[in-house]
């Protein structure tokens, strides 16, 4: 049995509040093998969601509501609020912290120190360094946040003459 099944409380995926397991519905109907599992969202959040659907006339939540998913990712994965994201964006004048380019129709990625929260999939929120465009974020990740490797790459690029690009040997 998993440790989460032994505990008397569960954290709601939607609101993030720790609640009694009695405040969560079961995943499936009687007789189903999935009956032993609880819904990821508490009954209260499900009711709010259902009222929203009725009010908007939609049959189900749009899977591609990118604004909702982005804000949820900020809260769950990086432990920062939408307001904190907006503050970071304003402090960087709406540009990437590295290349200073304005993102073209995309939101800037949250950059955080992976060494701070290495034991967890998620950031603690205190180690957020800034906002990066997709390319700069990918580049930092490819170098695994290793300053020595990044410095070596900069030295390599600076040493290469413009006409010899791509001819260097290892």
Domains present along the chain, CATH in parentheses: 3-56 (3.30.60.130), 66-157 (3.40.1800.10)
The whole-angstrom separation of Cα 83 and Cα 126 is 15
At 100 the pLDDT is: 95
Q: DSSP letters of 93-131? A: TTS-TTT-PPPSSSPPEEEE-TTTTTTSSS--STTEEEE
At 112 the pLDDT is: 86
Residue 23 C-beta-side C-alpha neighbours within 13 Å: 16
The whole-angstrom separation of Cα 134 and Cα 106 is 9
pLDDT by residue (tens digit) across 130-161? 999 999 999 988 998 889 999 998 888 888 76
pTM (two decimals): 0.56
The whole-angstrom separation of Cα 96 and Cα 117 is 23
pLDDT by residue (tens digit) across 67-120? 777 888 888 888 899 999 999 999 999 999 999 999 888 889 999 887 787 777
Backbone angles phi, psi at 107, to 5 degrees: -85, 150
The secondary structure element, H or E, covering residue 129 is strand 128-132
pLDDT by residue (tens digit) across 27-66? 777 777 767 788 888 999 888 888 877 777 666 555 556 7
At 123 the pLDDT is: 82
Neighbours of 74 (CB within 10 A): 20
The secondary structure element, H or E, covering residue 127 is none
Separate counts of helices (H) and strands (E) for the chain: 6, 4
């Amino acid at each position: 049995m998993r440790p989460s099944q032994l505990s008397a409380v569960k954290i709601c995926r939607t609101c993030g509040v720790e609640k009694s397991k009695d405040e969560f519905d079961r995943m499936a109907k009687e007789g189903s093998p999935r009956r032993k599992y609880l819904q990821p969202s508490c009954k209260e959040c499900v009711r709010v969601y259902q009222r929203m659907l009725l009010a908007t006339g939609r049959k189900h939540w749009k899977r591609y509501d990118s604004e909702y998913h982005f804000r949820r990712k900020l809260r769950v994965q990086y432990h920062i609020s939408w307001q904190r994201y907006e503050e970071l964006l304003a402090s960087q004048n709406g540009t990437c912290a590295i290349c200073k380019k304005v993102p073209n129709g995309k939101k800037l990625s949250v950059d955080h120190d992976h060494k701070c929260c290495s034991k967890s999939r998620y950031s603690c929120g205190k180690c957020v360094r800034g906002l990066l465009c997709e390319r700069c974020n990918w580049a930092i990740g490819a170098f695994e946040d290793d300053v020595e490797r990044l410095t070596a790459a900069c030295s390599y690029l600076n040493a290469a003459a413009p006409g010899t690009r791509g001819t260097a040997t290892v």
